[in-house]
Amino acid sequence: MTEPTHAPLHTVARGRARWHRVLVRPVLQRRARVAPAAQAIAFVIGIVLALIAGALLLWGSGNDPVTVYQRMAESSLGGFDALSRTLLRATPLAIAGLAVAVAGSMGLWNIGAEGQMMAGATAAAGFAMVAGDLPGPVLIVLMLVAGAVGGVVLVLGPALARAYLGVSEIITTLMLVEVAIRIVEWLKVGPWKDPESFGFAQISPLPDKASLPGLFGQVHIGVLFAVALLLAFWLAVSRTAWGYELRMAGSSPATARYAGISLQRKVLTALLLSGGLAGLAGAIELSGTATRLEPGLSSGYGFAGIIVAALALMRPSGVAVVAVVFGAVLRGGQSIQTLGVTSSIATILQAMILIGALVAAVLLNYRVRWVRPVGSGADGDAAENPASAGASGV
């Protein structure tokens, strides 16, 4: 009886494991819990480390890091006008981030907020075309309602499929992003094409009265909606029975079932609410900053909302902070291009800052333990007990 031999494989496998027995090596261990203050500190440390790495990048590409960072800070946070430009970008980020966080608090990933923003903007623009005779304030309010409905409509299919058939919402919502954008492209060259734009295909502009009133500087009153929505969601989650059920269903589905909470209904409401918020973000972006509906209107805010929600650990308070930081990074990244920093370097810099924050937020869940190899010390006792050393602050 011959055993099949595969000696090479064997030695490779054993050889790979050998260094474990020789070196003292760090092992990441999950922390039982993370102090809220540590989250803020980790966030800042992550960004600072990224800025240091970014300085090397800038220096290597022939720019002066000090000047560039100065300009970034000034243009995004230095003064009233700069701040208003940051908040202008933070507004859609906050609402889209909240949309993702609503689903996220139930353990669901609404990856398609971008598409729902487009659907919301489309519904709002369509409403403005049909009901252009209404007085300005009424028109705006109804446009926002139409926007939310548009977002809900786009997410309805994925939400039903997830709640009743268990189909992954990640894939379905993502695929509908393309659908939403293509529909706007079709409207642009087809039924909604502006007859006065001659050969150039674009959608008719919105009437002036459909624009959200400004607040200060560049900011429109959409920022107030964002704040109100964040507050409302925070209250709903932490202070209502509905929010209690949502938290229970999200954190421990079996316990929720035990308590008599319908998981399907909770999945459905969380996703529909998420889609509605994203649609509202789209309508606010349309009415606040754009003159007309365009396929590129949401310009990635919906996808950025995923990053915002993840960094904020799905918490409304976190969404507010992260959205402003993200808005400042976007604004700063744009402004340094006037210093001669190429747009690709600026984009890399933006990405590095966000990755720094994201990595810090993830690593915060772990601490480092140094594990000594078995049998290396003279006494077996020390070998078996991994010495814990230097839990890092990040």
Partner 1 sequence: MSEPGDAAVSSGSGDGRVVVDLRGIRKEFPGVVACDGANLTVRAGTIHALLGENGAGKTSLVNVLSGVYLPDDGEIWVHGRQRQFHSPADAIAAGIGMVHQEFRLVPTLTVFENVVLGSAPRYLDMGQIIERVAHLAATYSLQTDPARPVWQLSVGERQRVEILKALWRDADVLVLDEPTAVLTPAEAADLGLTLRSMADRGRSVIYISHKLDEVLSVCDEATVLRNGVTVAQPRSLAGIDRSDLAEMMVGETATEIQRPTDQPSGDVVLDLEGISALSDRGLPALHSVDIDVRAGEIVGVAGVSGNGQRELAEAIAGLRPTTAGTMQLAEVDITGTSPRARSRAGLAYVPEDRLGVGLAPTMSVVDNAVVRSYRSMRRRMMLDLRRCEDFCKRLVERFGVQVGRLHEPISALSGGNLQRLLLGRELTGEPKVLVAAQPTRGLDVAGIAAIQSQIVAQRAAGVGVLLISEDLDELLALSDRLIVMYEGQVAARMDPTQVSRADVGAAMAGTASA
Binding of partner 1 by 6 (CB under 8 A): yes
Binding of partner 1 by 388 (CB under 8 A): no
Radius of gyration over every alpha carbon of the chain, rounded to an integer in angstroms = 25
Residues 6+ apart with CB under 8 A from 208: none
Q: Which one of residues 61, 67, 197, 255 is an interface residue with partner 1 (CB under 8 A)?
A: 255
Task: Note whether 252 binds partner 1 by CB under 8 A.
Answer: yes
User: Smaller CB distance to partner 1: residue 127 or 233?
Assistant: 233
CA distance 283 to 211: 10
Choose between 207 and 243: whose C-beta lies nearer to partner 1.
243
Instruction: Judge whether 71 and 334 are in contact, CB under 8 Å.
Output: no
At residue 72, φ and ψ (nearest 5 deg) are: -60, -50
State the minimum distance, in angstroms, from the CB of residue 241 to partner 1. Answer: 5
Q: Does 67 bind partner 1 (CB under 8 A)?
A: no
In the complex with partner 1, which residue's Cβ is closer, 102 or 284? 102
318 and 305 Cβ atoms separated by less than 8 Å: no
CA–CA separation, 279 vs 121, rounded Å?
A: 7
User: Count of CB atoms within 10 A of residue 212's CB?
Assistant: 23
Whole-angstrom distance, CA of residue 130 vs CA of residue 280: 19
Name the residue among 191, 186, 211, 223 with its Cα closest to residue 290: 211
| Span 361-380, contacts to partner 1 by CB under 8 A | 371, 373-375, 380
Task: Decide if residue 9 touches partner 1 (CB under 8 A).
Answer: yes
- Terminal alpha carbon distance of the chain: 57
Q: x/- contact string, 232-251, with partner 1 (CB under 8 A)?
A: -------xxxxxx--xx--x
Distance CA 81, CA 75 (A): 8
8 or 195: CB nearest partner 1: 8
- Examine residue 21 and tell whether it contacts partner 1 (CB under 8 A): yes
The nearest distance, CB 311 to partner 1, in angstroms, is 19
Q: By CB under 8 A, which span of 20-28, 104-112, 146-154, 280-288 interacts with partner 1?
A: 20-28
- State the residues that interact with partner 1 by CB under 8 A: 1, 3-4, 6, 8-10, 13-14, 16-17, 20-21, 27, 32-33, 239-244, 247-248, 251-252, 254-260, 371, 373-375, 380, 383-386
